[in-house]
Amino acid sequence: MKPHFVLILVLVAMPFINSVPIPQFGFIRGAVNGAREMYKGYSEMREANWKNSDKYFHAKANQNAAKHGPGGIFAAKVIR
């Protein structure tokens, strides 16, 4: 198979792969989504540009990351 055909096949199949609950990937998916939430909180903090507001945004990002299960909790603890 040609590489571009494989890439197109993977891109088409990705929504179906993400919708299937695979226990092994639950932690990884939660960690990725938790890291995404932490980055989102950081970018919101930078955009707000308020003095001494970092604790609020860190707590908000930690809570949002923890909603993604054990992987999100792991990401919140690691990124802190």
Query: How many Å apart are CA 37 and CA 78, to the nearest integer?
Result: 13
Segments forming the whole domain that contains residue 43? 31-80
The answer to whether residues 37 and 74 touch, using CB atoms and an 8 Å cutoff, is no
- What total of structural domains would you count in the chain? 1
Going by C-beta distance under 8 Å and a sequence separation of 6 or more, which residues neighbour residue 45? 53, 54, 57, 58
Could you tell me the two tokens for 70?
């054990």
Q: Answer whether residue 65 is part of any domain.
A: yes
Q: Answer whether residue 23 is part of any domain.
A: no
The total number of residues written for the chain in this structure = 80
pTM: 0.66
Residue 67 sits in a domain whose CATH number is 1.10.132.110
- What does the pLDDT look like over 25-67, one tens digit per residue? 677 888 888 888 888 988 898 899 888 888 999 899 999 999 9
Query: How many Å apart are CA 41 and CA 43, to the nearest integer?
Result: 5
Residue carrying the six token digits 């571009």: 4
Flag whether pLDDT at 2 surpasses 60. no
